[in-house]
């Protein structure tokens, strides 16, 4: 990249760089996320906020990161952009995404979280939050429209900082980290988890310290398990076989009432019962909402339909997949005067749309995904009910979901196939009915969601932030949902090399 100054339109940069926008920010390969690129994106985000008069000269911007090897370098690039725009970067350290977002909300300050969440270590990303919370789709449009200028003498020909042209991150300010712990320790009853035996699967989650301190702070007996200094891509929607085997081995010892974990940046939970069976994220979301006394629940169309069938909540709203859509849905319901309103995603991330009150204490709203509140909500519901975790879902209608994905699946291929199917219901029936039964309804809220005459569901959707094609299935038993998912993935593998038109003709 040249050392001469020149303007860059962020929208053009997104198209040309291989680092596009996904949910709440951008993700891409580490090798493509050069210092210059991260600097430019940060400038675009902050210029967008200035145009909306959300930032003034000398204002603060919080920065944090996960435990990937590339995160410190990207954080430095972001911090340098903040300084060059006349703003003050606050380094909040390596903490969970919800901890950083909560700090930004309490300080009326925008924040940047450097994380790739659950994707592999050779990729990373930046999540952007305004002073009100996660960026929404309209913010993305505003950021794309920004033209930024790279300063003279800052970057070399490969987009890296020239020697002497970057400054180290500021000293870590620990306030965001400690406030996140206090958020829960000062709200829920003291000693509420006393004596509970918890296995904490730490792996490389940046939330592992917060989980440990909060759970032990409530009296739980916590055993730290599986800690690693090498980043591991733990996906709470497509749980790895090795993670399933590990947790069952630990549970088989009989030493734990439950096992808990979170993904890389701590905004998606993993919770296993005493037998070592992981709770699906959308089931954990329903249970958490019940414990918190929600009057309205917002969740994407891909989440388990046990939510409506339970009849536990007066208001349910379904959205497209992605936290920005859930947040917009929560705001819509709040505007109608309904509270408390919560949201969750199929990955387990839980959003608190309105404040909660309990015995004179208030838990502030946190309209971004959080994992820790789910672990607390599920464990406290089991305590209230006086039952093991494995019994909690028995009160729910018996609907089970499964999800998995095809990795390194070109987005343009999956999008073209799905668009063609949406335009031709007969093609959907030809391709899927022979394998799943007669088709009854199609839902195109986000991707292609098919309901068959036996009530089983197959939902196809390209990932919004990675070259992956995801499949969600739902049935009346866990085994059947898993079987449907594998059958579906086998069909989708043919899409890699066969154009839709050929598939359609072959089906005839």
Q: Tell me the per-residue pLDDT of 414-423, one tens digit each, with 9 for 90 and over.
A: 899 999 999 9
DSSP string, 72-117: HHHHHHHHHHHHHTT-EEEEEES--HHHHHHHHHHHT--EEEE--T
Q: What is 200-248 written as a DSSP string? A: EE-TT-TTHHHHHHHHHHTT-EEEEE---SS-----SSS--HHHHHHHH
- Output helix, strand, coil percentages for the chain, rounded to the nearest 5: 40, 25, 40
Neighbours of 107 (CB within 10 A): 17
Closest among 296, 61, 44 to 150, alpha carbons compared: 44
> For 263, how many CA atoms within 13 A lie in the half-sphere containing its CB?
28
- pLDDT reported for residue 238: 77
Q: Round to whole Å and give the CA distance between 113 and 417.
A: 34
pLDDT of amino acid 136: 86
pLDDT tens digits, 70-100:
999 999 999 999 999 999 999 999 999 999 9
Residues in CB range of 48: below 8 A, 6 or more apart? 139, 142, 143, 145, 146
Closest listed residue to residue 322, CA positions, set 288, 349, 287, 342:
349
Alpha carbons 128 and 232: distance in angstroms, whole number: 23
Question: What is the Cα–Cα distance from 316 to 313, expressed in whole angstroms?
Answer: 7
Asked if residue 448 has pLDDT above 70, the reply is yes
Look up 411 and say whether it is catalytic.
Answer: no
User: Residue 249 is encoded by which pair of tokens?
Assistant: 């081995």
Cis peptide before 358 (omega within 30 of 0): no
- Work out the mean pLDDT of the chain and round it to a whole number: 92
Residue 486's φ and ψ, nearest 5 degrees, are -65, -40
Model pLDDT for residues 107-126, shown as the tens digit of each residue = 999 999 999 988 889 999 99
Q: How many CA atoms lie within 13 A of 379 on its CB side?
A: 33
> Comparing 6 with 401, which gets the higher pLDDT?
401
Q: Both tokens of residue 60?
A: 């603060």
Where do the domains of the chain lie, and which CATH numbers do they carry?
A: 6-176 (3.40.120.10), 195-395 (3.40.120.10), 400-507 (3.30.310.50)
Residues paired with residue 341 on neighbouring β-strands, in sequence order: 296
> Which of 17, 24, 117, 204 does the annotation list as catalytic?
117
How deeply is 431 buried, as exposed, middle or buried, from its count of CB atoms within 10 A (0-12, 13-18, 19+)?
Answer: buried
pLDDT more than 70, % of the chain: 96
Joined tokens for residue 389: 């975790």
Starting at the earlier edge strand, list the strands of the sheet with 448-452.
400-406, 469-475, 457-462, 448-452, 439-443
Cα 92 to chain centroid distance, Å, stands at: 20
pLDDT band at 18 (very low <50, low <70, confident <90, very high): confident
Say how far apart CA 319 and CA 352 lie, in whole Å: 16
Tell me: pLDDT of 185 over 60: yes
Q: Is the pLDDT of residue 142 over 90?
A: yes
pTM for the whole structure: 0.89
Mean pLDDT of the 360-388 span: 97
The confidence score (pLDDT) of residue 15 equals 87
450-493 pLDDT, tens digit per residue, is 999 999 999 999 876 678 899 999 999 999 999 999 999 999 99
Mean per-residue pLDDT, 278-296: 96
Facing residues of 451 across strands? 441, 457
Closest CA to 248 of 274, 282, 221, 223: 274
Name the token pair of 76.
């430095």
């Amino acid at each position: 990249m040249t050392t001469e100054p020149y303007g860059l339109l962020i929208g053009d940069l997104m198209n040309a760089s291989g680092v596009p926008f996904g949910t709440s920010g951008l993700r891409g390969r580490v090798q493509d996320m050069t210092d210059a690129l991260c600097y430019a994106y940060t400038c675009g985000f902050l210029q967008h906020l200035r145009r909306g008069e959300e930032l003034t000269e000398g204002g603060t911007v919080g920065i944090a990161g996960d435990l990937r090897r590339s995160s410190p370098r990207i954080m430095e690039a972001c911090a340098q952009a903040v300084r060059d725009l006349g703003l003050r970067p606050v380094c909040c350290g390596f903490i969970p995404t919800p901890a950083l977002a909560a700090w930004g909300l309490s300080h009326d300050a925008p924040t940047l979280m450097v994380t790739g969440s659950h994707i592999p270590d050779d990729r990373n990303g930046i999540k952007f939050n305004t002073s009100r919370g996660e960026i929404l789709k309209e913010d993305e449009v505003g950021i794309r429209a920004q033209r930024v200028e790279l300063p003279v003498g800052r970057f070399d020909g490969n987009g890296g900082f020239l020697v002497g042209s970057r400054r180290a991150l500021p000293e870590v300010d620990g306030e965001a980290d400690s406030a996140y712990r206090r958020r829960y320790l000062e709200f829920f009853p003291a000693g509420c988890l006393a004596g509970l035996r918890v296995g904490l699967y730490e792996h490389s989650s940046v939330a592992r310290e917060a989980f440990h301190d909060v759970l032990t702070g409530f009296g739980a007996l916590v055993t730290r398990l599986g800690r690693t200094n090498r980043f591991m891509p733990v996906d709470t929607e497509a749980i790895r076989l090795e993670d399933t085997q590990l947790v069952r081995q630990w549970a088989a010892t009989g030493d734990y009432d439950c096992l808990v974990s979170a993904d890389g940046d701590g905004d998606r939970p993993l919770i296993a019962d005493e037998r070592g069976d992981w709770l699906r994220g959308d089931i954990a979301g329903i249970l958490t909402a019940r414990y918190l006394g929600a009057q309205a629940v917002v969740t994407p169309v891909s989440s388990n339909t046990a939510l409506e069938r339970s009849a536990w909540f007066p208001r349910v709203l379904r959205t497209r997949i992605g936290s920005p859509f859930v947040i917009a849905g929560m705001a819509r319901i709040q505007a109608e005067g309904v509270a408390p309103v919560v949201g969750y995603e199929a990955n387990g991330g839980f959003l608190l749309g309105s404040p909660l009150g309990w015995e004179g204490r208030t838990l502030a709203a946190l309209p971004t995904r959080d994992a820790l509140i789910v672990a607390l909500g599920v464990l406290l519901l089991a305590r209230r009910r006086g039952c093991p975790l494995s019994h909690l879902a028995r009160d729910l209608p018996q609907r089970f979901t499964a999800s998995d994905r095809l990795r390194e699946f070109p987005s343009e291929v999956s999008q073209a196939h799905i668009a063609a199917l949406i335009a031709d219901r007969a093609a959907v029936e030809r391709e899927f009915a022979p394998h799943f039964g007669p088709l009854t309804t199609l839902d195109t809220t986000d991707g292609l969601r098919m309901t068959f005459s036996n009530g089983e569901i197959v939902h196809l959707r390209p990932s919004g932030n990675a070259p992956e094609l995801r499949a969600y299935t739902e049935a009346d038993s866990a085994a059947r949902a898993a079987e449907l998912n594998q059958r579906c993935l086998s069909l989708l593998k043919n899409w890699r090399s066969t154009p839709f038109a050929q598939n359609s003709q072959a089906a005839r």
